Amino acid sequence: MALLFLKKKLFPAQETKLPSKPLLARTDSEDLESQHGRSYDTFGRCISNDDSTVGSSSSSSSSSARARINPRIISDAILGLSDGLTVPFALSAGLSALGNTKVVVLGGLAELAAGAISMGLGGYVGAKSEAESYDATIRETQALIDSDPQETQDMVRETFAPYGLSSSVVEDITRDLHASQERLLEFLLTFHHREFAPDCNQAWISAVTLALGYFVGGFIPLIPYFIVSQVITALYWSIGVMGVTLFAFGYIKTCIVRGWNGRDNVVAGIWGGVQMCFVGGVAAGAAIGLVRLIDGAN
């Protein structure tokens, strides 16, 4: 009740424009939407917030929300960098066994281009599939609401079953939800299906983030081959650079997820760095061994 009172005081204009407040006061999807300056209606259509009028408190809150990085971008960047730091490094190390720097550089650049395009397309298709899945869930849930109210009532009761609420309270909530189809649809999507409206531009953002992450991560092990003419010397430099890079990446990746302060987080970050070095070393060693085995057989 206190939150509702503060909301009415801080956002009087919004209360008059929207007399029926949706069931959810604030969800993870709305946090995601505020970062991009847009919102979604119940059916996932993108709505711009440029024309909305909010108070000074709302503006400062929106600014702080936009300052946070979208977790999906962080996830895509980590995935792209992780693959980029291991696969091209293993390839360049394997090609070094042939003893030709030009082969390493050309083969590495070709793999970078192909891998970045593949990762970008994969991210685009994946995000599009998520949006299509969300739209399909909306259609199926709306059809169920229109055709079988008893089934939707059972879904609401099933959602609240783990919380041990009394039957009278659950029945009151069920009745109130079924008084509005839009509110019921929003509830079922959020709490029963646990799905949120995707960002309008998520497919393109994922594609660009994955492609850039892969290309940047994969270009690092090739740098010594542009500087040093001797392929074996360049390989040693590449191993050294990648050892530091993989450890730093593993440490930073782990601390982004767990946090930066505290002994446990520091130890976990170090262990994450060691794991990345181990994975990169195993991949590079396997590539070198395979190339030498095939080259020796011929």
User: Residues of 144-162 as b/e, b for ≥16 C-beta within 10 angstroms?
Assistant: ebeeeeeebbebbeebeee
Q: Which of 71-75, 89-93, 118-122, 247-251 has the lowest mean pLDDT?
A: 71-75
Count of positions (residues) in the chain: 298
The H or E element that residue 260 is part of is none
**Pairwise pLDDT comparison (55 vs 85), residue with the higher score:** 85
Q: Looking at residue 81, what is its pLDDT?
A: 84
Sorting pLDDT into bands at 50, 70 and 90, what band is 121?
Answer: very high
Angstrom distance (rounded) from CA 293 to CA 2: 72
- Strand, coil or helix: 275: helix
pLDDT at 73 over 50: yes
DSSP structural state of residue 51: T
Question: What single-letter amino acid sits at 256?
Answer: I
The first and second tokens of residue 31, run together, are 């946090």
Residue 119: φ, ψ to 5°: -65, -40
Question: What is the pLDDT averaged over residues 92-106?
Answer: 84
pLDDT in tens, 153-200: 888 888 888 888 888 888 888 888 888 888 888 888 888 888 877 777
Average pLDDT for residues 242-250, to the nearest whole number? Answer: 88
Instruction: Tell me the C-alpha distance between 200 and 261, whole Å.
Output: 35
Q: Which pLDDT band holds residue 297 (cuts at 50, 70, 90)? A: low
Q: How many beta carbons lie within 10 A of that of residue 17, not counting itself?
A: 10
User: First-to-last CA distance in the chain?
Assistant: 79
Is the distance from CB of 92 to CB of 288 less than 8 angstroms?
no
pLDDT of residue 51: 45
Instruction: Indicate if the pLDDT at residue 269 is higher than 70.
Output: yes
Give the model's pLDDT for residue 261. 86
The better pLDDT of the pair 182, 16 is held by 182
Is the pLDDT at 149 greater than 80, yes or no?
Answer: yes
Q: Could you write out the DSSP letters of every residue in 180-222?
A: -HHHHHHHIIIIIS---PPPTTHHHHHHHHHHHHHHHHHHGGG
CB 137 within 8 A of CB 184: no
User: With 60 as the cut, is the pLDDT of residue 43 above it?
Assistant: no
Of 278, 288, 231, 237, give the one whose Cα is nearest residue 90: 288
pLDDT of residue 45 exceeding 80, the answer is no
